[in-house]
Amino acid sequence: MYEHNGEKYFVVDGHLHFWDASPENWVKGQEQFAEGWINCFHAYMGLAPEETHWPIEKFQKYTEEDFVKDVFEDGYVDVGIFQSTYLKQWYTDGFNTAERNSRMAEKYPDRLIVNGRWDPRDGDAGLKELEEDAKRYGLKGVKLYTAEWRNGSRGYSLKDPESQRYLDKCKELGITNIHVHKGPTIWPLDKDAFDVSDVDYVATNNPELNFIVEHVGLPRIEDFCFMATQEPNVYAGLAVAIGGLMHARPRFFAKVMGELLFWVGEDKMLWASDYAIWEPKWQVEGFVDWNYPADEAYSDYPALETTGKKKIMGLNAAKLYGIEVPRELQLPDEAGTPAARDDAQLVEDRA
C-alpha cells in the first residue's frame, strides 16, 4: 500500500519475476544467447535512477531476501503477479518457471500470484501440462512469449490454429487472463517481429478472455492503441513503459501516457514494475506523483487524476484477478457496484 498526500493506493504489481540467469544455469552451447539476454535486460536497468542500478552479478541471480525487501518492504506492493518466462532453450532450469516462482509464492500466499505459460508448438503434451499446471498453481493467467525459440523455430503467431486449442483449454480451466509479450524474433523472419495483429485476431475471437499486451506493445504502440481502442478485452500492461521511459525520457513518457489514456483509457491500463529489471519503489512513487509537463504540446491529452491512478496502480488488476481490496482502498462509489459482466465470476463479495 502506498500513501501519499492523504491518499492511499492499493498496489498490484502486474508483472514481476524471480529469475535465475546465473552462468550455472546457462545451457551448454547456448551461452552467448543466455548471456546476451540477461545483459540486454541489465542495460534496460540503466534507464532507471542511478542509485537503483545493480551490478551484473546480482542482476543475474538475486535472493529471496532481495525480493522481499525490494517488492514488499520498500516497494509498497500489496500483491504481485509472477509472469513466468521459461526460455529453456537457453536456461537449463528456465529463466523463471512457474515452479520456481511458486516456491516463493508459497511463502506469501496472499501476496503473490503465479501465472503459467504455454507454447502452442508443444502440441498435445503441452495441453496436458497446462492442465496440471492449472491445478498445481491455481492459475488465473498465463504469459505468452510469441518470440520464444523452440527446436529451430524462432517464434509463433497466435493466429496459428494450435493457439486456439490452447485458448479453448484456458477457458475450460478458468484461466481468463492472457498476457502477451512480443519479442525481437518471430517466424517468419521477413515479417515485422513485433506485429500485434495476431493479438487483435484472438481477442476478437475470444471475447470471454482478457488480453493484456505487455509493455503496451512497444515498439508498436500505435498498432496496439488502434487495436485496444476497438477491443473491449484488450488491456495495456505498463511494465517497461514506466521503467524504461518515466525517468530516462520524461517527455516521451508523457506522450505515451497521453496516447494510452486517449486510446485505451484508465480502466484498461495496468501498472507493473517488471522487477528485477527495475525496482518497484521509484516506479510507484514516480507514477503517483506524475503529471504532464506544463506545455501546450500536452494540452490535448486526457487528464489523469487520483481516481485514475488508483485504478491503474491496482484496482484494475484486482478486478481481473479477483483480488480482495480492503474497503478503505477501494474507490468510494465502487462498494456495492455490480461487477463488470465479464468478470462477475471472479470478484469476491465486497459488501
Partner 1 sequence: MTSRSRVLEALGTVYDPELDEPITSLRFVTSCEVSADGDVDVRLRLPTPQCAPNFAYLMAADARSAVLRLPEVRGVTVLLEDHYTGEEINTAVGRGEAFSEAFPGETEGQLDALRELFRRKALVARESRVCEELLARGATPEEVTGRRVADLPDDPEARRCIELRRQLGIPAGENAPAFVRPDGEPIAAADLRHWLRRARLMRTSLEVNGGICRSLLRIRYDLPDAKEVAA
> How far is Cα 172 from Cα 191, in angstroms, rounded to an integer?
33
H/E element, 222? helix 221-228
Among 4, 27, 37, 204, binds partner 1 (CB under 8 A): 37
- Residue from 87, 245, 272, 304 that binds partner 1 (CB under 8 A)? 245
Residues 226/252, Cβ–Cβ less than 8 Å: no
- Interacting residues with partner 1 between 77 and 106 (CB under 8 A): none
Nearer to partner 1, 17 or 255 (CB): 255
Residue type, 54: W
For the packed helices 221-228 and 250-263, what is the interaxial angle rounded to 10 degrees?
20
For the four alpha carbons of 260, 117, 13 and 336, in that order, the dihedral sign comes to: positive
The burial of 299, by beta-carbon neighbours within 10 Å (0-12 exposed, 13-18 middle, 19 or more buried), is given as: exposed
The answer to whether the beta carbons of residues 163 and 156 sit under 8 Å apart is: yes
Q: Is 334 in the site for partner 1 (CB under 8 A)?
A: no
Site string for partner 1, 160-189 (x = CB under 8 A): ------------------------xx-xxx
Q: Which of 254, 288, 304, 313 binds partner 1 (CB under 8 A)?
A: 254
Grid coordinates representing 275 are 522487477
Q: Is 191 in the site for partner 1 (CB under 8 A)?
A: yes
In the complex with partner 1, the residue whose CB is nearer, 87 or 167, is 87
Nearest to partner 1 of 12, 236 (CB atom): 236
Looking at beta carbons only, is 50 or 124 nearer to partner 1?
A: 50
Q: Does 290 bind partner 1 (CB under 8 A)?
A: no
Buried b vs exposed e over 222-235: b needs ≥16 C-beta within 10 Å? ebbbebbeebebbb
Shortest Cβ 112–partner 1 spacing (Å): 29
Interacting residue ranges for partner 1, rule: CB under 8 A: 32-33, 36-37, 39-40, 43-44, 46-47, 154, 184-185, 187-194, 218-222, 225-226, 244-245, 248-249, 251-252, 254-256, 259, 262-263, 297
